[in-house]
Amino acid sequence: MTKMLDKDQVFYTRCRTKPVAFVPFARASAVAPFVDFLQSIGTPMTRLLNKAQISSSQLDDPEALLPVLSIYRFIELASRQEKIRDISALVGEQTSAFDLGAFGATLQNASTVSEYLRTGIRLIGALSSGERFWISEEADNVRLNQHLPGPPGLGRCLADVYTLVITISMLRQFIDAAWNPGEVRLLAGNEDLFGDRRMFGNAQIVTGAPYSSFTFPRSLLQRSKPETRTNVADTGRASPVPGEPIPVGFKASVEQLLITLVGDQNPTIELAAEIAGMSPRTLQRRLAGSGYTFTGLLAETRTGLAKDWLIDSDAPVAEIAASLGYSDPSNFTRAFRRLTGLSPQRYRQSRPGTH
């Protein structure tokens, strides 16, 4: 059975969401299942990744940070190109949350449904900043709610479907393979992204919600994990190493965005603003509130990367300049000297243990 959420319910629930005050990022492990699925059906990946402003090299590290809006765009482009409208439901059904990098490895330690959910709620920010889960009580049931950051659009809807399906599939591992939620509320725009909705079984479907959620009996919170579930530690494999913290301050998150962009290009404020989900004017204004200009923060970010590379590698200065998006090495040298007082070569020579 399917019904629409009434306006009063929409207003009440919408009041509980908060705008994201920073550029959201997610770990590469979150998008890896889509990459694996697309490669399995023969999809050429380079063009898709380039259009979404995602570097293929970033996908080699499951803990690498990717802009959330770039991930949304990648999933949307893949869905449109391959004409698979329910791609997120298909990928979500094939994905185990336990495989989502260091976050997933921690989830494996949960012994009950309650522990699994509370661990995920507490740590979700380490996998995807701005994403929220929370539990609300409804008589003998509990409702698990999810809210993903970013502006409305097909990409966000597809990511929301993916997250919802993974969560329901994971609870079936604890409860029963044939278990279904009592009621499922779908984020407005998600209605046609589940194919035949078979993964919901006989659950009541409510459409038009400001975020997705589902209910299940409170008694299931204490359901234990089956003994057949093997932890990473029991397999002899090394546990994933947690990556660097995801920045949650505005200036720090924009700096991280620039780090992802400087590799093969000269980032413009227009490109950075698009990936951040705001206008160039808004981006510049918010940076000014932190005492920065876009040009100044870009120069500072490049210089910080250059310092690391000069110390940690033997790469020629010209190669480092090109890696930072400078077409002329002399421009890099001038910019570096302006911020440090030293040329790149002199800086490298002045560091202990470098030559």
- The last residue of one of the domains, among 216, 235, 254, is 235
Are 227 and 281 in a shared domain? no
How far is Cα 54 from Cα 2, in angstroms, rounded to an integer?
37
- Going by pLDDT thresholds of 50, 70 and 90, the confidence category of residue 3 is low
Does residue 254 lie in a domain region?
no
Residue range 25-60, pLDDT digits in tens: 999 999 999 999 999 999 999 999 999 999 998 999
Give 71-126 pLDDT, tens digit per residue.
Answer: 999 999 999 999 999 999 999 999 999 999 999 999 999 999 999 999 999 999 99
Based on the fold, state whether residues 89 and 231 are members of the same structural domain: yes
Domain count, the chain: 2
Instruction: Give me the mean pLDDT over the 279-303 stretch.
Output: 95
Residues 200 and 344 in one domain: no
From residue 169, give the alpha-carbon distance in Å to each of 92, 112, 122, 201, 302: 8, 15, 20, 12, 43
CATH of the domain at 293: 1.10.10.60
Mean pLDDT, all residues of the chain: 89
The answer to whether residues 196 and 305 belong to one domain is: no
Q: What is the mean pLDDT of residues 150-160?
A: 94
Domain shared by 310 and 166, yes or no: no
The reported pTM is 0.87
> Are residue 333 and residue 199 in the same domain, yes or no?
no
Total length of the chain: 355
Q: Are residues 58 and 112 in the same domain?
A: yes
Instruction: Report residue 212's pLDDT band, with 50, 70 and 90 as the boundaries.
Output: very high
Q: Inform me whether the pLDDT recorded for 8 exceeds 60.
A: no
pLDDT over 70 percentage in the chain: 89
- Cα–Cα distance for residue pair 162/154, rounded to 1 Å: 12
- Asked whether residue 246 is domain-assigned, the answer is no
Instruction: Give tens-digit pLDDT for 217-236.
Output: 999 999 998 865 555 445 45
Within a domain: residue 267? yes
Answer with the one of 220, 235, 250 that is the final residue of a domain: 235
Residue 248 resides in a domain: no
CA distances from 236 to 140, 228, 233, 239, 339 (A): 41, 16, 6, 9, 48
Residue 333 covered by a domain = yes
More confident residue, 17 or 131: 131
- Specify the CATH number for the domain of residue 94: 3.90.1520.10
What is the average pLDDT across 164-192?
95
Q: For residue 198, is it within any domain?
A: yes
pLDDT tens digits, residue range 244-262? 999 989 999 999 999 999 8
CB 100 within 8 A of CB 178: no
- Domain span at residue 343 reads 262-350
Both 58 and 122 in one domain: the answer is yes
- The verdict on residue 243 lying in a domain is no
